[in-house]
Each structure stands twice: as C-alpha cells, then as structure tokens.
Amino acid sequence: MTETKESAWSAGLQLLGRLESAGHTAFLVGGCVRDRLLGRPLRDVDIATSARPEQVMELFASAIPTGLKHGTVTVREGGRLFEVTTYRREGKYTDSRRPDDVWFVGSIEEDLARRDFTINAIAFGSDGRLVDPFGGADDLRRGVIRTVGDPSERFGEDALRLLRGVRFAAEFGFDFAPDTWDGLLAQRAKLRHIAMERVGAELDKMAAGHDPERAFRLLAESGLLRYAREPLPACATPAEPQADSGERSVRGLADPDLRWAALLLRWGADEAEAEELFRTLRLGVRRGARVAAVVGLDRMLAADGGELPDLRARWISAVLRFGRAAAEDWLALAAVTAGRQLPPDVAGLARSWLDGMAAASVAELAVRGDEIVRATGRKPGPWVAATLRQLLSDVALGTLPNERPALLVAAETMACDGDGSFYSKE
C-alpha cells in the first residue's frame, strides 16, 4: 500500500476512534473497504455510525452539514474530507433514484442491507473486524457482481445502479451473477428516470477506467443505453456488441478525451455523431469539440482519393480544417491505438509534415487582412478572408514562404470571384 493510501485509511480509523470514545459505534464502509481488500488505490473514505448528524456536528468542529436529510455530515480532518453518515434504512424509491423516506437505525447490519452490491456492503471496524453479512468479501475473491437481496428490486429502487454495476464489472474484471444480470435486463427501462448528466458521468468513468472496451461491450449486450432518457447516436447504441477486431486497447491512452475519440472511431462514428454524443451526455461543449475534431480529422485522412489523392496534401488539408491541436491529438492517439487511420509508416511521416508546416492557421500568417487591402487597393469584403485562406494553403503546402513581402505579392496577383473561386490577374 502506498503512503497516501495508508494515511487516508489511518485517518479514517482515527475518526472511528473519536466517535467510539464519545459512546457511538462506527465503521469504515463501502468503496474504501472494497478497494482496500482488492489492494486498489483509495478514493473517498466513508464512515457509517450510530451517532446522529447533530451529534457528529457537536463532536467535530470542522463538520459541514452536507446532507442532513439523509444523515450525512462531511468532516474535514488533516486536509481530507470524510462523509460520516448515520446508520439508516430507506423507504420506497418512487422516482427510481432517491428514497422517499429515510429512517435512522441502530446497527451497521441494517445499514448494509440497503446497499447496492455485496462488494459495497462490507464494513471495517477499528478492531480490524469485517462486518460482511452478504458475502461481499467472498464475491471479491470470486470476482462476482451480485446485488444485496433481490436484483430486480435493487435495480428498480435506483436505476443508476444499472450503470454502476456495468462499471464495476469492467473496472474490476468481474462477472455478473446470473440472477443479477437477469435483474439488470428486467429493469433496464428504468434508466429513463436517470438524468443525462448522471448517465454521462457514469459513461465518462467507464471510458477513463480500467477496461473501457469491456464496459461498452456489456452496455451493448444489455441494450441499456437504448433506454436512456434522451436518444444517443446509433454508434453508441449498437444492436449487437462489436466483435473483437484485434485492435490495441485504448487503455494505453492516459487522456480520457483521446480514449473517447478512439472508441468513437472504433464504433464508426463521424464528427457530427461525436459532438452529438458529448452534447447529449452533457460532457461539455469544449470536450465535445475536441473529440469531434480528432474524429473528423481521422475520417478525412481515411477518405479514399477524391480531390486529394496525395497523402501529404490530404494531411495538410486536414490540419488546416481541424487545427494543429487536433493534429497533435491524432498523432498521440495513432501512437498508441489502432483505428481507421493511416498506416504506421505514413503516420510517422505525418509528424514531420506537421512540424514542417510554416503556418497552420490564418493567425500564423506573416500578413494581416488590412495589409492585403491596402496593398491591393481594393475595398474590404469577403474576398479578404478567401485570399487569406488561399495564402494559408500555399504556405502550409510549402509552395509559398511565410514572409510578408512574398505574401503581399501573391495576394496582389489573386482575385476572388463572388463564389470564392480564384483566378490569376495576370
């Protein structure tokens, strides 16, 4: 265990000691216990206790009342935040997301009984004792995702558990218990109750997780995403899981957005579908634009012949259209994972082609539009932007130096028709 993991765990145990010294019972619970048993890095360290929220607030001066309705208080200790929640039992989930009522109870066993999966229903006491009434530790050893109690009831209570189950299975390399998988399928229509922001957050975690390919295969096998509140692009909701094509895993990519780009390319998505997916999942306009640019650049490179049969010219044209940043992203992606891209030797050349481009945007040209207007003596108009684009293309291809005098001379010999086509004045 790393020092950070040990220190977080130790700090949590110290909080248990303070609660117990005040006459309460308390345990570390949930994901931190699961991850500790698996030897994985700890994220949040959560605590369940018999103490009522107001008692926790009195005991810890740094406590923040973050969820008093549900018995949760956040305690700041040693620069860390710990969620401390009173043992509770939950009522019906009318909206398939949150319990209508919460009752405080007196034992950790009752509290664990309300949780989603057995691997998350394990508690650890300050004396080193595991409280594991549902066999979660055994399921961790066997690599099984199993609900606490009836699967259909558990998934029906909180439909976000449908996605969480898939994420856990992919992250830990576990298999679903047969009845748990059947319960997931039986309740998948309840996903319509979950806000798209929450769906997007879960899918984003899957894309950034240990095994994104398996996560999205399980989603395809279950058909879950076809029941989302808002329709997703067809590429993300295939009727059948995509067959293993032998392509290298996207796990070699550290950047989550590049993982998304690689996955979308593997699914056959285009630029518009990439933007639509990020917009629907509320993953951010800027992130969506970045991923869509990489996808669009790749699609342009993969296009057959057309007006740009020369690969170098096609690459430069793609860079001019999607930008230098998208080209750098594409090169990073191409170095790690295979997709519908150029052959490796040509991809290697693309780096030298990019480095050799004297300009990749109009802003990088050594001349401005107002300078062209003065040099040509023409009135400003749309022709200026068209002239700058043509100069940029010539500079990027290397047929014209990115030098002000040369660019002004070239601009003076150009004229642009109303439809944007060029002809020589000579």
**Whether 36 and 114 share a structural domain:** yes
pLDDT of residue 132: 97
Query: What CATH number is associated with residue 415?
Result: 1.10.246.80
**Whether 133 and 152 share a structural domain:** no
Asked, for residue 252, whether it belongs to a domain, the answer is no
> The domain containing residue 327 runs over which residues?
260-355
Radius of gyration for the alpha carbons in the chain, expressed in angstroms and rounded: 29
For residue 96, is it left (φ>0), alpha (ψ between -120 and 50) or beta? left
Closest CA to 216 of 192, 190, 191, 237: 237
Asked, for residue 213, whether it belongs to a domain, the answer is yes
Length of the chain: 426
Buried b (16+ CB within 10 A) or exposed e, 49-88: bbbbbebbbebbeebeeeeeeebbbbbeeeeeebbbbbbb
Q: What one-character-per-residue DSSP string does 63-83 give?
A: -EEEEGGGTEEEEEETTEEEE
Tokens for 38? 């698996």
Which of 180, 209, 244 represents a domain boundary (last residue)? 244
**Whether 172 and 303 share a structural domain:** no
Q: Say how far apart CA 84 and CA 52 lie, in whole Å.
A: 10
**Whether 374 and 350 share a structural domain:** no
**Whether 239 and 154 share a structural domain:** yes
Asked, for residue 251, whether it belongs to a domain, the answer is no
pLDDT of residue 311: 85
Residues 6+ apart with CB under 8 A from 416: 382, 383, 386, 387, 422
**Whether 162 and 226 share a structural domain:** yes
Asked, for residue 15, whether it belongs to a domain, the answer is yes
Answer whether 59's CB lies under 8 Å from 19's CB: yes
**Whether 288 and 214 share a structural domain:** no
Query: What CATH number is associated with residue 215?
Result: 1.10.110.30
**Whether 1 and 126 share a structural domain:** yes
**Whether 266 and 301 share a structural domain:** yes
In three-state secondary structure terms, 232 is: coil
**Whether 351 and 370 share a structural domain:** no
Task: Convert the pLDDT of each residue in 185-197 to its tens digit.
Answer: 999 999 999 999 9
**Whether 185 and 306 share a structural domain:** no
Asked, for residue 104, whether it belongs to a domain, the answer is yes
Edge-to-edge strand ranges of the sheet holding 80-86: 64-67, 72-77, 80-86, 46-49, 26-29, 123-124, 130-131
Asked, for residue 184, whether it belongs to a domain, the answer is yes
Helix (H) or strand (E) holding 29: strand 26-29
**Whether 13 and 128 share a structural domain:** yes
Asked, for residue 285, whether it belongs to a domain, the answer is yes
In three-state secondary structure terms, 247 is: coil
Asked, for residue 333, whether it belongs to a domain, the answer is yes
CB atoms within 10 A of CB 396: 26
pLDDT of residue 261: 96
pLDDT of residue 413: 86
- Tens-digit pLDDT profile for the chain (426 aa)? 344 557 889 999 999 999 999 999 999 999 999 999 999 999 889 999 999 999 999 999 889 988 777 889 999 987 889 999 999 987 666 655 566 667 889 899 999 999 999 999 999 999 999 999 999 999 999 999 999 999 999 999 999 999 999 999 999 999 999 999 999 999 999 999 999 999 999 999 999 999 999 999 999 999 999 999 999 999 999 877 777 666 778 999 999 999 999 999 999 999 999 999 999 999 999 999 999 999 999 999 887 655 555 888 989 999 999 999 999 999 999 888 754 555 556 777 889 999 999 999 999 999 999 999 999 888 999 999 999 999 999 999 999 999 999 999 999 888 654 444 554 444
Closest CA to 187 of 283, 99, 93: 93
Q: Distance of alpha carbon 187 from its chain centroid, rounded?
A: 25
Which of 97, 124, 142 represents a domain boundary (last residue)? 142
Which of 94, 111, 142 represents a domain boundary (last residue)? 142
Residues 6+ apart with CB under 8 A from 185: 222, 223
Total tally of structural domains belonging to the chain: 4
